[in-house]
Amino acid sequence: MKSLTLRNKKTSWKRSQNIGLLYIAPWIIGFLVFQLYPFIVSLIYSFADFSIIKTPEFVGLKNYINLFTKDRLFYHSLKTTFIYVLIAVPGKLIFALIIALILNMKLKYINFYRTIYYMPSILGGSVAVSILWRFLFARNGLVNILLSKFSIAPIDWLGSPDVALYTISLLKVWQFGSSMVLFLAGLKQIPGELYEAAKVDGAGKIRTFFSVTLPLLTPIIFFNLIMQMVNAFQEFTSAFVVTQGGPLRSTYLYGLMLYEQGFRFLKMGYASAQSWILFIIIMAMTALVFKSSPYWTYYDDEGDF
Amino acid sequence: MKKSVKRIMVVCILAILTLSIVGGLSIQAAKPKKVQLRFSWWGNDARHKATLKAIELYTKKNPHVEIMAEYGGFGTYYQKLLTQLAGRTAADIIQIDYKWVNDLASQGKLFVDMSKMSNKIDMSGFDKKFVKDQCAVGDYILGLPTGISVLGLIGNDSLLKEAGINIDQDWDWDKIIEEGVKLQKFDKNKHLLYMKTIHYYYLTKVMLKQKTGTDFINDDYTLAFTKKDLVDVFSYIRKMIDLGVVPPLEETVLFDGGDPDQNPNWLQGQYAFNSNQASKLAAIIGASKFDIDVARYPVPKNAKNPGLITSPAQILTINKNSDHIDEAAKFVNWFFNDPEAILTLRDTRGLPAVKKAREILMKENLLDERVVRMVDVTLPFSGGAENALSLNQEIETIVEDYIHQVGFKKLTPEKAADNMMKDLNYKLQELKSAK
């Protein structure tokens, strides 16, 4: 009798396991076909001369050596990408935090504002918005028309090699919605009594922010930093649609170079090698941020999960 | 559990078998086999509409054929095509650009060799030399030219008249500067010649050919020009910018992705000329609210080679992996030679390359006189077909980078020429060793 129930339990456990696997099958299949397979294959191609139409030909480390020693644009596009990440990521986090602080206040119609402020994040990555940006920031575009009302001379936001990268970064900052929502959730988690205690101790608004709010938000900042950094290193759409990497290759981000090598010059193997270098860079940067986190993030529960 | 799986499998296999047998029978029973063809092209609205109408006409006459149209803009067409060719999912009939001929031919025989199709496609209307020079590599003809396109000047005639500039003159490079300065005096905000980055590249190639008499890169992977030639060209570009003959690059590079019909400054009448292909003329006339006229691209009196760019507007190919090569060829034949097709397609793919088509359209008064004139005034000054290296995409990006260095005033013409020749020689060595 006892063994029977045990077996029943066992089979029912097995069946529920099978059903569970069935439920996540779409994800697993998607992962294997669209992520793991391309991941491995691109590593293999990175050691080959491959033009997507002809059969790949093994060339050893040649692609990597050429990238580091011969390519006239490799270091330039790396540098551009790092500058882009350095501007766009902190800019986005600070902006998202400010908006989150405003939306955390008790205002009338607050939910309406929250929805409105999230909109750019839904639209941000699309081609249509990139084209809109091109018109807004053209020499005789709306932004310059507004500036002229304050007697400021027109600026070539996208046409000048010295300015374009900042303008492109601004597009990224503008899509602050998802980070903002996380900050908002984090702000709601901070216990009210801490603020009351700070008030009793005579701390002003600014002091409270730096001594109470910011330390308690550090886990969220940490998470946002990692996610946004990983995204920013792979940025492609804005530079491709708005500026095509120009003017003077000032917005020639790494993703754009990769695309050009692969699809314009048919050097798929070379592009694969490039994408692996980017992968290693992103992994290293992420590891660095993780290593640094004990020094600046604060966990209520000592970081236990 | 296992048994039921087996049972299901058996049922499935049986079902598939019966279906395929029945299906096979039904295919044999139907007289003309149902054929599905796919046709991919890029273009503007006018071309899409005309082509869709032509397809409709053809399928009405040949009810056993169904043609799926796959069309869009030029922007990512090449990337999509390459991916499809690699995955063997490319269309049966494919429109390609003449600049891709060498690159695609180097990837193996992807398209049906047209030189072996003369029994299925009537090619008597094509200029044989033109086809061999521009659509073939050696004896392998990748496709047939849809139209003839030339690089010329498209003018805002209203503005030119207002400023007192005569469009009907024998344009050379000095006159461009002269009249450009005149226009600047007339109105500080107007510029004589609007060019996208790629048109600065064409200007560089044409000027070099006019100086040296040959393509700017030799077949043996060496440069065909001297440093002085290149410095002259770069200095000329700098002079155009400094004098306001062309708008500043800061203003124009934003619109490198499109044509003047999408550039607000052109549409507002800020520019007097645009250098462009004749095949773009229809779209530009359609979008511009002022009079448009055409002129020949500048040729100096002492040119060693007039050097003007004349090319197929596009090239129509048949996919080698198509299951219905004969049916595709039948459609291509109809597309080029049938009067009804000609009257439907008109000049949406440039001035038709088939002689009979030009005659029919001329007789019916359906050709825009300006398209014909632009081609007519240019052809006598053609620089001939360019060689493979002069059309290489990597070479193009290097030249364009240095044009920007000069145009944005980051490098002097001398320094830019030095660096560019170094980079070009380096890339040419790489291309040579990869061969």
Contact B82 A266 (CB under 8 A): yes
Strand, coil or helix: what is B415?
helix
pLDDT at B3: 54
Total residues belonging to chain A:
305
Q: Which two tokens stand for residue B3?
A: 């048994």
pLDDT at B117: 93
Peptide bond into A247 cis (omega under 30): yes
Residue A135 domain-assigned (yes or no): yes
Q: Determine whether A118 is exposed, middle or buried from the number of CB atoms within 10 Å of its CB (0-12, 13-18, 19+).
A: middle
In A, which residues are within 8 Å of B197 by CB distance?
246
Strand, coil or helix: what is A125?
coil
When pLDDT is cut at 50, 70 and 90, the band that residue B279 belongs to is: confident
Predicted TM-score of the model (pTM): 0.84
Q: Which amino acid is at B232?
A: D
pLDDT at B404: 95
Residue B274 has pLDDT above 90, yes or no: yes
Choose the mutation target among A11, A18, A45, A53 for the interface with B, i.e. most B CBs under 10 Å: A53
Contact A159 B253 (CB under 8 A): yes
Residue A301 domain-assigned (yes or no): no
Query: Taking all residues of chain B, what is their mean pLDDT, rounded to a whole number?
Result: 89
In B, which residues are within 8 Å of A12 by CB distance?
none
State which residue of chain B sits closest to A52, comparing Cα positions. B86
Give the residue numbers spanning the domain of A182: 69-296
Residue B29 has pLDDT above 50, yes or no: no
Q: Tell me the domain boundaries of chain B.
A: 33-146+313-337, 149-310+385-434
Residue A61 domain-assigned (yes or no): no
When pLDDT is cut at 50, 70 and 90, the band that residue A46 belongs to is: very high
In A, which residues are within 8 Å of B190 by CB distance?
none
* Residue B66, beta-bridge partner list: B36
Residue A169 domain-assigned (yes or no): yes
Axis-axis angle for helices A214-233, A177-189 (nearest 10): 160
CATH number at residue A282: 1.10.3720.10
When pLDDT is cut at 50, 70 and 90, the band that residue B23 belongs to is: very low
Question: Cβ of B400 under 8 Å from any chain A Cβ?
Answer: no
Strands B271-277 and B191-194: parallel
Question: Cβ of B262 under 8 Å from any chain A Cβ?
Answer: no
CB atoms within 10 A of CB B397: 17
Residue B193 has pLDDT above 60, yes or no: yes
Q: Which residue, B296, B299, B177, is CA-closest to B246?
A: B177
CA B366 to CA B346: how far, in whole Å?
A: 7
Contact (CB, 8 A) for B271 and B194: yes
- Do both A94 and A150 map to the same domain? yes
When pLDDT is averaged across residues B383-408 and rounded to a whole number, the result is 92
The CATH superfamily assigned to B149-310+385-434 is: Periplasmic binding protein-like II (3.40.190.10)
Q: Which two tokens stand for residue B258?
A: 């499109």
Distances (CA, A) of A83 to A79, A166, A179, A279: 6, 9, 21, 18
- Do both A165 and A17 map to the same domain? no
CB atoms within 10 A of CB B142: 25
Question: Cβ of A258 under 8 Å from any chain B Cβ?
Answer: no
Strand, coil or helix: what is B47?
helix
Contacts of B79 (CB under 8 A, 6+ apart): A263, A264
Question: Cβ of A265 under 8 Å from any chain B Cβ?
Answer: yes
- Written as one string, the DSSP assignment of A50-81 is --SSSPPEE-TTHHHHHHHHT-SSHHHHHHHH
CA B357 to CA B372: how far, in whole Å?
A: 13
Note whether ipTM > 0.90 here: no
- Written as one string, the DSSP assignment of B161-221 is HHTT--SSS---HHHHHHHHHHHHHH-TT-EEEE--HHHHHHHHHHHHHHHHSS-SB-TTS
Contact A134 B405 (CB under 8 A): no
- Do both A153 and A21 map to the same domain? no
End-to-end CA distance of chain A: 41
CA B195 to CA A43: how far, in whole Å?
A: 41
Indicate the residue of B249, B257, B397 with minimum beta-carbon distance to A247: B249
Q: Which two tokens stand for residue B192?
A: 């004589």
CA A213 to CA A284: how far, in whole Å?
A: 30
Strand, coil or helix: what is B37?
strand
In A, which residues are within 8 Å of B397 by CB distance?
260
Choose the mutation target among A15, A65, A139, A257 for the interface with B, i.e. most B CBs under 10 Å: A139
pLDDT at B13: 53
Contact B107 A266 (CB under 8 A): yes
- Do both A216 and A128 map to the same domain? yes
Residue A137 domain-assigned (yes or no): yes
CB atoms within 10 A of CB A85: 23
pLDDT at A7: 63
Question: Cβ of B201 under 8 Å from any chain A Cβ?
Answer: no
pLDDT tens string A236-267: 988 888 888 878 999 999 999 999 998 888 89
Residue A64 domain-assigned (yes or no): no
Contacts of B97 (CB under 8 A, 6+ apart): B78, B314, B315
User: For the ranges A125-134, B304-313, B319-328, which has the lowest average pLDDT?
Assistant: A125-134
Question: Cβ of A156 under 8 Å from any chain B Cβ?
Answer: yes
Contact (CB, 8 A) for A188 and A217: no
CA B129 to CA A56: how far, in whole Å?
A: 36
- Do both A37 and A173 map to the same domain? no
When pLDDT is cut at 50, 70 and 90, the band that residue B408 belongs to is: very high
Angle at B343 between CA B340 and CA B344, to 5 degrees: 85
Q: Which residue, B412, B410, B394, is CA-closest to B234?
A: B412
Question: What letter does residue A247 receive in the DSSP assignment?
Answer: S
Angle at B178 between CA B177 and CA B181, to 5 degrees: 80
Contact (CB, 8 A) for A270 and A70: no
Question: Cβ of A140 under 8 Å from any chain B Cβ?
Answer: yes
Q: Which amino acid is at B109?
A: K
The total of structural domains in chain A comes to 2
Question: What letter does residue B254 receive in the DSSP assignment?
Answer: G
Higher pLDDT, B22 or A92: A92
Indicate the residue of A53, A249, A266 with minimum beta-carbon distance to B401: A249
Q: Which two tokens stand for residue B8?
A: 């299901």
Domain B33-146+313-337 has CATH 2.60.120.620: no
